[in-house]
Amino acid sequence: MSYDLADIIDDYHEKCATLLQDAAAGSAEQSAYSHILQAIDRDKDRPANERVGGIAATLMALYRASSHPEVRVIIQKWAKDFIRDTGIGDPRVHF
């Protein structure tokens, strides 16, 4: 199966940016979406096929590092969906 990784990354960026904009200041959602967006935007000058693994790894690290349960739930869902949608692995293996 072929994946258009650049489009997938762009879709995730757009969705996350919208959710961040709509999140209440100081909320768990604002914290989670801010971190997710930073992970997506890292190394954005590199080709998409070189970025997907780093994005997934960063999302998993954010999930493990967060001590806030609501933030962890949001990040975990995004990480699982990203791993599944990009075809880089089975999300059940990582969590």
Could you state, in order of their start, the residue ranges of all structural domains in the chain? 26-88
Specify the DSSP class assigned to residue 45: T
Tokens of 4: 């258009």
Return d(Cα 52, Cα 39) in angstroms, integer.
10
Are the C-beta atoms of 41 and 55 separated by less than 8 Å? no
Q: What is the pLDDT confidence band of residue 95, given thresholds at 50, 70 and 90?
A: low
More confident residue, 48 or 94: 48
Q: What is the pLDDT confidence band of residue 3, given thresholds at 50, 70 and 90?
A: confident
Return d(Cα 43, Cα 46) in angstroms, integer.
6
pLDDT for residue 62 = 96
- In the chain, the amino acid numbered 79 is A
Return d(Cα 58, Cα 60) in angstroms, integer.
5
pLDDT for residue 94 = 60
